[in-house]
A and B are shown apart, each in its own frame.
Chain A
Amino acid sequence: MPRIKTTLAKSLALRIGSGMLSLLFVALVTFVAGEMAPGDAALMLAGEKASPAAIARIRTELGLDQPWPQRFARFVGDAARGEFGRSYFGVKEPVRDVLARAVPFTFKLAALALIVATLLGVGLGALAAVYKDTWIDRVALTIGTLGVTVPNFVLAPILVFVFVIKADLLPVNYDPQLPVAEFYYLILPTLVLSARPMASLSRLTRASLLDALRQDFVRLAIAKGLSPWRVNIVHGLRNAILPVVTSMGSSFGFLLTGSFIVERFFTVPGIGFVGIDAIQKRDTPVLMASVLVTGAMFIVVNLVVDLILPVLDPRIREASI
């Protein structure tokens, strides 16, 4: 037993280590991008009419006069504390505040989309597996294929056309001024965002459940005379759910990053919206921060899922990966 524990601890430590390295790599790429971006940070922050002395002072303050390894170390340290400098434009708001406003929207949208995608995807996949080779299976397969191939920005106008213009049920653009609950604004973006993970989760659930239903313990359950419901759900789905959970993790990561298009389409002021806005305004600190934070969320979510798996599945715990 102790041997098993140490190998598991070792593999977990390795996984955490590789996650940290990934984070560092993303930070390095972002840092290099910032170095290569046009525009001098000190000049942008001091303003056009600033004296050379004032610019030089800001340069020293920001550490821009130091060699790049020092600057990179400082960049990583600042980022770890959530400091990303100030926006180049407007009132030169700290980037931290911009992010603090945007991240909750992206997070809310991704979480809602993940819930919808899991419920619909697992349900659809389970139905398809239980009713294999019937019309239900074919419908599920068609939805799965459509969900993966139809782009978000094609699905979005279709849904808007049906639910907003034809049926006049829902609002299109995010607008906190209007007296409709925020929930209504989030319905369409959530549906669009969830389409892709929903489709892949349904395919995965179908394959995984079919695999589980072929196992001996399911045959035993049927032989014992258990109801089909108990056989399929309790004995089948419970054993089929693991790859689905793994995939949910990466789905959530992709939902966080995939929200660029959906946020832009429905004008949800999340991190993707802010990031694209920053490119168009050439607001380098905001762009760097939004890319870094989104990338970090993606890595951390996937890391957490990998760490949770041994808790869920004793087979992994004992095989020690």
Chain B
Amino acid sequence: MFWAGALFMVLLIVVAVVGPTMRHHYLEPVAQPFLEPSSKFWLGTDEQGRDLFARLAFGARMSIFIGLTVQAVALMVGILVGVAGVFAPKWVAGPVMRLTDAMFAFPDILLAILIIGIVGMGFLPVVIALSVTAWPPVARLVMTQCRALKEREFVTASRALGTPTIALVRGHVLPHVWSVLLAVSMVELAGTILSESALSFLGIGVQAPDPSWGSMINVGRAELQSHPMVLFWPCLALSLTIFALNFLGDALRERSDPRNL
């Protein structure tokens, strides 16, 4: 399962990187609408006569890019907040923990929708909205891990030797958190890609004419009766990506085995 997931993700990244440049342009019509798949148009053309494979490949690029950016922000903020919640002095740790808990009162998609309502629709607002909703789970995970590690002998010993807190966290705590964090961020990445598609599907995410799997599904819905394949490909790509990332996350979690902590 790990290798199936890994193989699919590698394939997807290759398609995302070289796909859009390799095939026809993804924004302009290149042929008749709704052509059947052929050697020229690998997956046929969409309702405006644009190359479906090129658009799908660009959608992959969009999903992966937004997913990785959001997860990078979430990891940075989440680790900072999580470590601060355990190791910072009380007057910092208290409010930080309170804020993290409060963030869970807000269902993710609702907060994202509210932020997009203020910032506007498009690529950047999606990144902002998803980043704001993505860090609390990371922070909470880092907090629980840190809290357990704080009581371990090697941490207490190092502290007794007078290691400054920052060096202590970097040298003795974070190295033990990475593997669990990697596993979780695979699943979180799947969640982010899914949310991006959901927002684009709702028409408030990535805006036309830029292709995104979500907006392709939204547009393809109108042609479901006559040309279901236009809808089929983005649905398949999205589902397989979510599966692959979940497989990867599960496999990594088993390998890292947090019970050893």
Interface, chain A (partner B; CB < 8 A) = 21-23, 25-26, 29-30, 33, 36-38, 149-154, 157-158, 160-161, 165, 253-254, 257-258, 260-261, 264-265, 275-276, 278-280, 284, 287-288, 291, 294-295, 298-299
B208 at the interface (CB under 8 A from A): no
Could you tell me the distance between the alpha carbons of A279 and B125 in the complex, rounded to whole angstroms? Answer: 13
B115 at the interface (CB under 8 A from A): yes
* In the complex with contacts A161-B224, A279-B121, A295-B105, A151-B198 CB distance below 8 A: yes
Beyond the given A33-B117, A36-B118, please list 4 additional residue pairs across the A-B interface where CB-CB is below 8 A: A21-B102, A154-B239, A254-B107, A295-B110
Let me know if B105 and A33 touch, CB within 8 A.
Answer: no
Let me know if A260 and B221 touch, CB within 8 A.
Answer: no
Scoring B residues 192 to 211 as 1 if CB is less than 8 Å from chain A, else 0, what string do you get? 00100110011110000000
Could you tell me the distance between the alpha carbons of A287 and B116 in the complex, rounded to whole angstroms? Answer: 11
Could you tell me the distance between the alpha carbons of A260 and B198 in the complex, rounded to whole angstroms? Answer: 9
B38 at the interface (CB under 8 A from A): no
Give the interface centre of A25, A152, A158, A279 by most chain B CB atoms within 10 Å: A279
| Distance (whole angstroms) from the CB of A24 to the closest CB of chain B | 9
Task: Please give, as numbers and ranges, the residues of chain B lying within 8 Å of A288 by CB-CB distance.
Answer: 114, 117
Please, which residue of chain B has its CB at the minimum distance from the CB of A287?
B117
Could you tell me the distance between the alpha carbons of A26 and B107 in the complex, rounded to whole angstroms? Answer: 10
Give the interface centre of B107, B204, B238, B243 by most chain A CB atoms within 10 Å: B107
Task: Please give, as numbers and ranges, the residues of chain A lying within 8 Å of B228 by CB-CB distance.
Answer: 157, 161, 165
Taking CB atoms and an 8 Å cut-off, the chain B residues in 230-260 that contact chain A are 231, 235, 238-239, 242-243, 246
Could you tell me the distance between the alpha carbons of A202 and B212 in the complex, rounded to whole angstroms? Answer: 32
Let me know if B202 and A276 touch, CB within 8 A.
Answer: yes
Let me know if B105 and A257 touch, CB within 8 A.
Answer: no
B225 at the interface (CB under 8 A from A): yes
Please, which residue of chain B has its CB at the minimum distance from the CB of A150?
B239
* In the complex with contacts A29-B114, A157-B231, A265-B221, A299-B204 CB distance below 8 A: no
Let me know if A276 and B204 touch, CB within 8 A.
Answer: yes
Task: Please give, as numbers and ranges, the residues of chain A lying within 8 Å of B173 by CB-CB distance.
Answer: none
B111 at the interface (CB under 8 A from A): yes
| Distance (whole angstroms) from the CB of B236 to the closest CB of chain A | 8
Let me know if A157 and B224 touch, CB within 8 A.
Answer: yes
Could you tell me the distance between the alpha carbons of A29 and B113 in the complex, rounded to whole angstroms? Answer: 12
Could you tell me the distance between the alpha carbons of A304 and B198 in the complex, rounded to whole angstroms? Answer: 29
Of B114, B190, B198, which is within 8 A of A261 by CB? B198
B2 at the interface (CB under 8 A from A): no
Let me know if B221 and A37 touch, CB within 8 A.
Answer: no
Let me know if A151 and B238 touch, CB within 8 A.
Answer: yes
Of A153, A276, A298, which is within 8 A of B214 by CB? A153
B181 at the interface (CB under 8 A from A): no
Could you tell me the distance between the alpha carbons of A218 and B126 in the complex, rounded to whole angstroms? Answer: 52
B169 at the interface (CB under 8 A from A): no
Let me know if B197 and A153 touch, CB within 8 A.
Answer: yes
Please, which residue of chain B has its CB at the minimum distance from the CB of A172?
B224
Could you tell me the distance between the alpha carbons of A294 and B108 in the complex, rounded to whole angstroms? Answer: 12
| Distance (whole angstroms) from the CB of A86 to the closest CB of chain B | 17
* In the complex with contacts A149-B246, A284-B117, A260-B109 CB distance below 8 A: yes
B217 at the interface (CB under 8 A from A): yes
Let me know if B238 and A287 touch, CB within 8 A.
Answer: no
Task: Please give, as numbers and ranges, the residues of chain A lying within 8 Å of B221 by CB-CB distance.
Answer: 157, 265
Let me know if B243 and A149 touch, CB within 8 A.
Answer: yes
Taking CB atoms and an 8 Å cut-off, the chain B residues in 10-65 that contact chain A are none
B178 at the interface (CB under 8 A from A): no
Task: Please give, as numbers and ranges, the residues of chain B lying within 8 Å of A26 by CB-CB distance.
Answer: 105-106
Taking CB atoms and an 8 Å cut-off, the chain B residues in 142-199 that contact chain A are 190, 194, 197-198
Could you tell me the distance between the alpha carbons of A284 and B218 in the complex, rounded to whole angstroms? Answer: 24
| Distance (whole angstroms) from the CB of A103 to the closest CB of chain B | 15
Task: Please give, as numbers and ranges, the residues of chain A lying within 8 Å of B214 by CB-CB distance.
Answer: 153
| Distance (whole angstroms) from the CB of B14 to the closest CB of chain A | 23
Q: Which 8 A-B pairs have the closest CB atoms?
A: A22-B105, A257-B107, A154-B235, A287-B117, A25-B102, A279-B117, A291-B114, A153-B201
Task: Please give, as numbers and ranges, the residues of chain B lying within 8 Å of A280 by CB-CB distance.
Answer: 121, 203-204
| Distance (whole angstroms) from the CB of A87 to the closest CB of chain B | 14
* In the complex with contacts A22-B102, A276-B113, A151-B197 CB distance below 8 A: yes
Task: Please give, as numbers and ranges, the residues of chain A lying within 8 Å of B109 by CB-CB distance.
Answer: 257-258, 260
| Distance (whole angstroms) from the CB of B153 to the closest CB of chain A | 32
Let me know if A33 and B114 touch, CB within 8 A.
Answer: yes
Let me know if B202 and A264 touch, CB within 8 A.
Answer: yes
Task: Please give, as numbers and ranges, the residues of chain B lying within 8 Å of A152 by CB-CB distance.
Answer: 198
Task: Please give, as numbers and ranges, the residues of chain B lying within 8 Å of A254 by CB-CB distance.
Answer: 107
Please, which residue of chain B has its CB at the minimum distance from the CB of A158?
B235
| Distance (whole angstroms) from the CB of A91 to the closest CB of chain B | 22
Let me know if B198 and A275 touch, CB within 8 A.
Answer: no
* In the complex with contacts A279-B113, A279-B121, A291-B113, A153-B217 CB distance below 8 A: yes
Could you tell me the distance between the alpha carbons of A161 and B116 in the complex, rounded to whole angstroms? Answer: 31
Please, which residue of chain B has its CB at the minimum distance from the CB of A283?
B117
Task: Please give, as numbers and ranges, the residues of chain B lying within 8 Å of A298 by CB-CB distance.
Answer: 105, 107, 110
Could you tell me the distance between the alpha carbons of A99 and B92 in the complex, rounded to whole angstroms? Answer: 40
Let me know if B105 and A276 touch, CB within 8 A.
Answer: no
| Distance (whole angstroms) from the CB of A231 to the closest CB of chain B | 32
Could you tell me the distance between the alpha carbons of A280 and B214 in the complex, rounded to whole angstroms? Answer: 17
